[in-house]
Structure 1
Amino acid sequence: MRYVVFNQKGGVGKSTITCNLAAISAQQGRRTLVVDLDGQGNSTRYLLGADADAAVEGAAGFFGESLKFTVRPKDSAEFIMETPWEGLHIMPASAELEELHGKLESRYKIYKLRDALAQLESSYDDVYIDTPPALNFYTRSALIAAQRCLIPFDCDDFSRRALYTLMENVQEIQADHNRGLEVGGIVVNQFQPRANLPQRLVQELIAEGLPVLQPYLSASVKIKESHELARPMIHMDARHKLTQEFLALHEEVARPA
C-alpha cells in the first residue's frame, strides 16, 4: 500500500506520523519505504539521525535525473538507502528539492514518482510519502503516486478551516489524475482529552461525517525525545501510551477499504 501524509499547514505532525507508522510496518516484518519530499528533511533526520548529512542524493537526485537525458539513467533504487531499522528504507530529502521545483513543474514531470514507485512495487510492501506544507509539485506528485491519503489534524481552528480546502484538493487530484486515491482518514494529533477545544473540534468533524480515525494521538513530551534521539517510538519505548496509540492507528489505516 502506498500512503501519502498530507496537510498544507505546517507543524501538524506529518513527519512524526509518517516515520512512526513506517517504523511499525517494518517492525512487523513488512518491507517499508519512506519517501521524504519535504526540503526541510524532517523525516530524513528522524530516521537517519547524524547520518542524514551523508545521505545519498535521494529525492532531489531522483527528480534531477528526470531532467537529464542519459543513455543509462540510474535505477530508482539507487536513490534509496537503509535506515538503522531492519526492513525500513528511505529516499531522503535535501534542500536541493527547492531548487529543482520550478524546472520540474515547467517540464511536467508530475508522474515520475508514480512510475518509479510502480517499478519498486515488488521490493516494498508499504510506502509512506512525507510531503511539504504546501500544495506544490511535490505534493501533487505524491497524491498522484499514492493509493491512500492520511490527513494530520492538530486540533486547531486554523487546521479545521484549512481542512475543507485540503479535502477539495484531494478530490481534484482524484478526478483529474488518480481515481484510485482514497482518503484513508483524518489523524487527530496532539490530542488533549481534558481540554474543551480539541474535544469540541473533533466531535464537530465527526458530526459532519468526515473520516476521523481512532485512536487519537496524545500530546506527549516523549515524541520530542524521540525526535532528538532519532528513534521512532516503537524502538524507543514500545510500552509507552503514545506507542500503543501508533500501533492501534497503524492497524486502523492498514485495514482494507
Structure 2
Amino acid sequence: MKAKTYVIGNFKGGVGKSTAAQMLGFRSAQKGRKTCIIDLDMQGNTSDVCSLTHMNFSSEEGGGDNEGLNFENTVADVLMNEAPLESAIYQVVNNLDIIPANIAFEMYDDWIKENYNSSIDQFKYMERVFAPLFEMYDVIYLDVPPSISVYSKSAMYLADWAIVILQTQVKSMRNAMQYLEYMEFFTEEFDTTLQVAGIIPFMLEASDAVDKEMYENAKEIYGNHLLKTIVLKNARLKRYDGSGITMEKTTKGRLKQWDRKSHELFDSILEELDEHETWYEE
C-alpha cells in the first residue's frame, strides 16, 4: 500500500509548519504508523529537532541514549550527488525516520534547473528518487520552506494531501489563502490529485481578543477545512525547538502534564485529519 504523503504549507514563515511536521510525525509513529519526515527546507530546523529528539529516548525506544544523530548524508547528497537513498535515512525513534536537510540544499534550485528544463521533469525527478519510500512507509510528511519554489512545488507534486498552517494574523490568513489558491492552480496545471486534509489554527493567544476575532473570521473563510483543535501558544512546544520532543515521566511512570497535553493535542489533530480524509471517499 502506497504511503499517504502530506505537504505542510503556508507561504509565510514562522507560522509553525516545522513544529507541525515534527509533532505529527512523532505522534503518527507513536500510533504505530511507519513514518518518515523529509526535510526539504535548507535551514534544517526539523532535522535539528529530530536529532535532539533521538537523544531523549532509550535504545529500546529507537533513540540514542543521550546521543544525537550524525547526518553524514542529507537530502542534497541523495538528489544532487547520487548518494544511495537509504544512506540518508536516519531513525529518530521507533517507527519514525528522517531524511535531513542542511544549507547544501540551497544549491538544489540551480542544479535541478540546469539538469531538467521543464517543471514537470523537475518534479518527476524527485518523485523517481523518492519512489522507494512510498512502499517503505505508511505516512510521509514533507517539510518545505515558505515560498513558491522548486522545493515547495515538487512537494505539492509528490503529496496526496496538504495540511495548511494558519496563524490568526492578517498576513498569515492572507498567505494561507494564497497557498490554497496556488494549490488549486497547481493541481489543474499539473493534473495532480492533491487535496486539502485540513487547516490547523496555530499559536493562538487564548485571551487575545484580536486572535479570537480572527479565528471567527477564519471559520467563515475556510469552513469545514478549519480544524476544531486549536494549537494555543504553548511553552512546551517552544521548548521542543531547543530540547527535542520529550515524553518525561513522573516517578509513577505517568507522562508529565505539559508533555501529555502537547502530545494529546496532536493526537486530536491527527484524528481530525483522518476524519477529513474520509469526506473525499463519500
User: Taking structure 1 as the reference length, what is the TM-score of the superposition?
Assistant: 0.89
Go from structure 1 to structure 2 and tell me whether the alpha carbon gap of 1:162 and 1:130 turns closer, same or farther (over 3 Å shift). Answer: same
Moved over 6 A (4+): 233-236
CA deviation after TM superposition for structure 1 residue 61, in Å? 1.1
Which residue of structure 1 aligns with residue 199 of structure 2? 186
CA deviation after TM superposition for structure 1 residue 232, in Å? 5.2
Q: Does the CA-based 8 Å contact 1:23-1:234 persist in structure 2?
A: no
Partner AA of 2:148 in structure 1 = L
Q: Does the CA-based 8 Å contact 2:77-2:83 persist in structure 1?
A: no
Q: SS in structure 2 opposite 1:193? A: coil
The separation in 1 between residues aligned to 2:51 and 2:44, in whole angstroms, is 10
Go from structure 1 to structure 2 and tell me whether the alpha carbon gap of 1:232 and 1:92 turns closer, same or farther (over 3 Å shift). Answer: farther
Aligned-pair RMSD on alpha carbons? Answer: 2.1
Equivalent residue runs for 1:1-257 within 5 Å:
1-49=4-52, 51=68, 54-65=70-81, 74-83=83-92, 85-108=93-116, 109-210=122-223, 211-231=225-245, 237=256, 240-255=260-275, 256-257=277-278
User: Taking structure 2 as the reference length, what is the TM-score of the superposition?
Assistant: 0.81
Go from structure 1 to structure 2 and tell me whether the alpha carbon gap of 1:48 and 1:195 turns closer, same or farther (over 3 Å shift). Answer: same
Deviation by residue 1:162-219 (Cα, 9 ceiling, x = unmatched): 2222111111221122521001121111022221112211211211244211201111
Q: Does the CA-based 8 Å contact 2:169-2:211 persist in structure 1?
A: yes
Higher mean C-alpha displacement, 202-211 vs 163-172 = 202-211
The separation in 1 between residues aligned to 2:247 and 2:235, in whole angstroms, is 12
The separation in 2 between residues aligned to 1:237 and 1:93, in whole angstroms, is 32
Which residue of structure 1 aligns with residue 57 of structure 2? none
Go from structure 1 to structure 2 and tell me whether the alpha carbon gap of 1:234 and 1:7 turns closer, same or farther (over 3 Å shift). Answer: farther
- In terms of Rg, which structure is larger? 2
Q: Does the CA-based 8 Å contact 1:46-1:232 persist in structure 2?
A: no
Partner AA of 1:78 in structure 2 = S
Partner AA of 1:61 in structure 2 = D
Q: Does the CA-based 8 Å contact 1:32-1:125 persist in structure 2?
A: yes
The separation in 2 between residues aligned to 1:57 and 1:227, in whole angstroms, is 22
Partner AA of 1:43 in structure 2 = T
- Structure 1 residues not aligned, in runs of 5+: 66-72
The separation in 1 between residues aligned to 2:234 and 2:143, in whole angstroms, is 21
- The percentage of counterpart residues that share the same residue type is 23
Partner AA of 2:261 in structure 1 = K
Go from structure 1 to structure 2 and tell me whether the alpha carbon gap of 1:37 and 1:232 turns closer, same or farther (over 3 Å shift). Answer: farther
